[in-house]
Structure 1
Amino acid sequence: MTAEYRIAENRLGGERTLVVSAPDGTARAVLALSGATLLSWQVRSEATGRLTELTDGYRDDKELLVQDGVRAGLLAPFPNRVADGRYHHADQDHDLLPGHHGDRLIYHGFAREAPFELAHATTTADSARLLLHTTSIRPGRYPGYPFAIDLAVEYTLTARELGITIRATNVGGSTAPYAAGWHPYFTLSRPIDDLTLHIPAHTLIRTDAALIPLPGEDALLPLDNCPGMDFRTPKQLSDAVIDACYADLTPGPAGRIETVLTNSATGEELRVWQHSGYMHVFTGDTLARDRRASIALEPVETMTNAFNRPEHAAALALEPGRSRAFAFGVEYAVP
């Protein structure tokens, strides 16, 4: 009988986890049910022949609870910031931080802290698929978001690739603003300075000092006018400090948009893929621990503060009874 991928229950301190392992020892992933959060992704390295950690996730349950850096967080119903924690939708004003008069920073939605359960799993000799589900986003649960959204997250693990699909279904009676994304940190060496980055983007999103995009067309800066932030030709990160969103992404020959991180010394690559949306890049300079030990390459459906941008209203609108999915993932490769 051919051995199949295995899924085992475990714990990270007080948090329940799922451990997914390839039968031949080529891949391993650990997921926390809290937030359906990826804690670890290991692949057998072509350079060493051993399982190698390719992500920089939460190390213990305390880090997972604090959410510093939003390590591998699933971002829904909005990625990145909502300016001043307020937005206007369907002729109504909404306040995500009612009663807060000082720091009104809110970012990356609620899914990253929501309780998920394993709804279904399928294993074969070549892959494992896990479907996790939550019904926690409901009116009255999260201030300023009076909508009912079911979230289903499918993880697919193979020997060299991790794929994720977030599917949202509006189970309420009114149209909801909604967008998704992912906030993983990757590394092929520490620090990241010697790694090479390639982003197939033609536009940089310009922001103010609070990292909120400028109004209208002022937010769109052609990368021809910003060579220091242009990674259309792969180049070494060196000491670049980046916390920025890239737009107008170009698909490759296979139809997938790929942002590629390369260790030139070993030839190893991480190809972060998506089919649409934007790519947000953060070099980890302000993390509470291990600054610049990893780089966040974040596939997102929309730019920051999309809830307050009229040009995004139609794309955000999730009507009652309708579902929308956002798919992305990462592949380990040695060309």
Structure 2
Amino acid sequence: MAGEPGESIHLIFCQSFIEWAAHHRAALFYFLPAQSPFLYFAKKSMAFFIQHLQQNGFDVIELTDDEGASVQVIPALGALLHAFTIPHKNGTLNVIDSYASRAEYDAGVVSSFKSVKLSPFACRIKDAAYEWNGVKRQVQKSPIHGLLYDQAFAVILEETGSQDAVVDLEYHYSGWDPGYPFPYTCNVRYRLLAQNTLEITTSILNHHSESIPLMDGWHPYFSTGTPVDELELEFRSKEIVEFDDKLIPTGKLLPYTSFNQAKSLRGVELDNSFIVDFDQPSPLCILRDPKKHVSIEFYPSTAYPILQIYIPPHRNSIAVENLTGAPNAFNNGLGLVKLAAGESVQFATTLRVRG
């Protein structure tokens, strides 16, 4: 009968056990028989945590789970994705090639743009100039990778539960660059899930009185510690964006399926934009390290139809970028988002690391 004292004690015990199990999973798996019903609760329950750290001159927010996966972000430096670490063999493996120190960031961010938010445009704008609503604009700050890559994002939400750890970062752009005088809000959500999975969602809200041009993207560099020449890449594409000698799109899309099957990157040079084929099964891109038996899977939403791949000259890491449009989208219109006054839009991608 509901409400009996014995039943209340039983329910309290079960709930307490579930909460305790989330923090003592390893001990349970060691001491309890494989068929124990208590292991069901331990397997279903996970604990997620958020902590603030100071490392090498950076103020870091770290999302972790109780299986050893973690994500580090740096809000004050362009909402930078600093690390994505998984349990690997007898230790851990960080698959993000970031900056070793604040001094390295200060010296290199405007040349590498590693792992920063690209907004309100990504890649190149030819001659830093474009025309919008009949008015010619000249971007003052940078003709490449937007305006927010070094801006301080505010932390507006930190939340943990049995399913995830979430941090929301936000920047209110007031229109301070004369070449982009359109106020908007950029919100970035990092969400760590079970099974070494990271979901990244960007939301843009237009505060301008008219529609604004927009191109969104990311610039993460990935490394397993193995040289790129020993890695394999596979992605679903049907076309490649043709570039001129200055890496500006010519306007042509050419058939391209070379990486629809896994292919070695030995000797391969890439700095290209590919059209994602969303009709193919996910994951839509996989970076593999056969030596360490690690793979990084990419699950972009249809809001990110462009996959930009870049291998830097040092060939120790590789940039795999989900973009809403092609380079110079403000001029060629390829993937350009036209966001109406007062409207918002979301772009999402998910990473999963296996190893």
TM-score by length of 1: 0.86
- Alignment of 1:303 with 2:305, yes or no, is no
- Aligned position for 1:332: 353
Residue pairs, 1:208-227, within 5 angstroms: 208-214=244-250, 216=251, 219-223=252-256
- Alignment of 1:77 with 2:96, yes or no, is no
SS in 2 for 1:43: strand
In the TM superposition, residue 272 of structure 1 has moved relative to its aligned partner by 1.7
The one-letter code sitting in structure 2 at the alignment partner of 1:279 is L
In the TM superposition, residue 333 of structure 1 has moved relative to its aligned partner by 2.0
- Aligned position for 2:204: 168
- Aligned position for 1:133: 170
Residue pairs, 1:265-304, within 5 angstroms: 265-276=291-302, 277-285=305-313, 291-304=314-327
In the TM superposition, residue 14 of structure 1 has moved relative to its aligned partner by 4.5
The one-letter code sitting in structure 1 at the alignment partner of 2:329 is A
CA distance in 2, matches of 1:251, 1:328: 17
The one-letter code sitting in structure 1 at the alignment partner of 2:307 is M
SS in 1 for 2:149: helix
In the TM superposition, residue 73 of structure 1 has moved relative to its aligned partner by 1.2
1:204·1:220 contact (CA, 8 Å) conserved in 2? yes
The one-letter code sitting in structure 2 at the alignment partner of 1:295 is I
Greater Rg over alpha carbons, structure: 2
1:163·1:328 contact (CA, 8 Å) conserved in 2? yes
Moved over 4 A (4+): none
SS in 2 for 1:193: helix
- Aligned position for 1:38: 81
CA distance in 2, matches of 1:123, 1:38: 19
2:83·2:98 contact (CA, 8 Å) conserved in 1? yes
CA distance in 2, matches of 1:309, 1:257: 29
Residue pairs, 1:1-335, within 5 angstroms: 1=19, 2-3=22-23, 4-24=47-67, 26-33=68-75, 34-45=77-88, 48-66=89-107, 67=109, 68-97=111-140, 106-135=143-172, 137-139=173-175, 141-159=176-194, 160-214=196-250, 216=251, 219-223=252-256, 230-253=258-281, 256=282, 258-276=284-302, 277-285=305-313, 291-310=314-333, 312=335, 315-334=336-355
SS in 1 for 2:170: strand
Over the matched positions of the two proteins, sequence identity in percent amounts to 24
1:272·1:297 contact (CA, 8 Å) conserved in 2? no
1:39·1:59 contact (CA, 8 Å) conserved in 2? no
Alignment RMSD (CA, Å): 1.8
In the TM superposition, residue 251 of structure 1 has moved relative to its aligned partner by 4.4
CA distance in 1, matches of 2:162, 2:301: 27
- Runs of at least 5 residues in structure 1 that lack an aligned partner in the other structure: 99-104, 225-229, 286-290
2:232·2:289 contact (CA, 8 Å) conserved in 1? yes
- Number of aligned pairs? 306
Superposed CA offset, 1:75-119 (max 9, x none): 111110000000011100000038xxxxxx721111221211110
Query: Cα distance 1:283–1:311, how it changes in 2: closer, same or farther (>3 A)?
Result: closer
1:197·1:261 contact (CA, 8 Å) conserved in 2? yes
CA distance in 1, matches of 2:200, 2:120: 16
Between Structure 1 and Structure 2, the one with more helix by share is: 2
SS in 1 for 2:316: coil
TM-score by length of 2: 0.82
CA distance in 2, matches of 1:83, 1:12: 38
Query: Cα distance 1:162–1:241, how it changes in 2: closer, same or farther (>3 A)?
Result: same
Higher relative contact order (CA 8 A, sep 6+): 1
Query: Cα distance 1:310–1:280, how it changes in 2: closer, same or farther (>3 A)?
Result: closer
CA distance in 2, matches of 1:119, 1:148: 19
2:121·2:216 contact (CA, 8 Å) conserved in 1? yes
In the TM superposition, residue 11 of structure 1 has moved relative to its aligned partner by 2.5
CA distance in 2, matches of 1:275, 1:251: 12
1:167·1:324 contact (CA, 8 Å) conserved in 2? yes
In the TM superposition, residue 257 of structure 1 has moved relative to its aligned partner by 5.2
1:36·1:132 contact (CA, 8 Å) conserved in 2? yes
